[in-house]
Amino acid sequence: MDRPTSTATLAAGPVEYRMVPGGQELVVLLHGGHMRAGLSLGEEQVAAAGYSVLLVSRPGYGRTPLSAGPAPTAFAGVLTQLCSHLGFGDVRAVMGISAGGPTAVAFAAAQPDRVHGLVLVSARSALPYPDGVMRAAAPVVFGPSCEAVTWAAVRSVMRSSPDRGLRTMMANLSTAPVRQVIDDLTPADRAELIALFSAMRSGSGFLADLRDPGDVQAERAVRRPTLIVASPHDGGVDPRHAAHLLATIPGATLWPSPSLSHMVWYGSGASVTQNRIVTFLRDLPF
């Protein structure tokens, strides 16, 4: 599942990234929790539409150390350095997925002359995240002494009983009945998701995501067109986050994805969701 990545040595230290060529204009993509630049999610459709995509491992994920941030505002400055290091000036848009949302917001807010658009997909906001039982359990389940064991257990279940493992994971990512969510997936979707979940790791990044909330002042400072993509069935990020982003980011547009889970690139709603993101990118003044 892992794609080859590169490492740039910047003033803040090493930063892992992957470049997907597609065109002269650049889209920066920031994955959410448990993800790194080597994992594929959301970039292929953007590249097929004619944009090069720069995927970056956020602090604590992959080969990007926690010291490269860890806060979204600090790492936004590192992204600026990385784009310059790779020879890119303007950025068509930055896309933040899930827990990558606050860093995408910080980057767009800090570089209004460089970043021309912001896309937030299933994204968390400056509101507390996660909440309830998961917030209490996360420091244990994904802490330094248990994180490797947690994901080893996930991989074991995905190998021995992939259908059961997929149901368990998707039940945590959707508010719809899990049978409905699974039935909505194609066989290819199921295989991709099983491989994706089997490849995830939290490193030290997920706990940093919990410690470093989004910045409401950065949200208010965004001055570029913003598309918020959120499924009403998202079980990973509460819909209150999308409502908060819509109310806080000036001129933002909320587009309710028909997808049945947090993973909006899968299922019957995937195609229309991908098309909406590409249309937004194409319509940006640039």
Who contacts 92 (Cβ-Cβ below 8 Å, separation ≥6)? 25, 26, 27, 51, 116, 117, 281, 284, 286
pLDDT digits (tens, 9 = 90+) for 112-122: 999 999 999 99
Task: Give me the half-sphere count of Cα atoms (radius 13 Å) on the Cβ side of residue 60.
Answer: 27
pLDDT digits (tens, 9 = 90+) for 203-259: 999 999 988 878 999 999 999 999 999 999 999 999 999 999 999 999 999 999 999
CA-CA distance, 284 to 280, in Å (whole number)? 6
pLDDT value, residue 84:
96
pLDDT value, residue 136:
77
pLDDT value, residue 24:
92
Domain residue extents for the chain: 6-129+204-283, 132-199
Segments of the chain with pLDDT less than 70: 132
CA-CA distance, 283 to 194, in Å (whole number)? 34
pLDDT value, residue 171:
97
Residue with token string 């819509």:
246
3-state helix, strand, coil in the chain (%, to 5): 45, 15, 40
pLDDT value, residue 208:
93
pLDDT value, residue 212:
81
Q: Is the domain defined by 6-129+204-283 classed in CATH 3.40.50.1820?
A: yes
Q: How many helices (H) and strands (E) does the chain have?
A: 12, 8
10, 87 in Cβ contact below 8 A? no
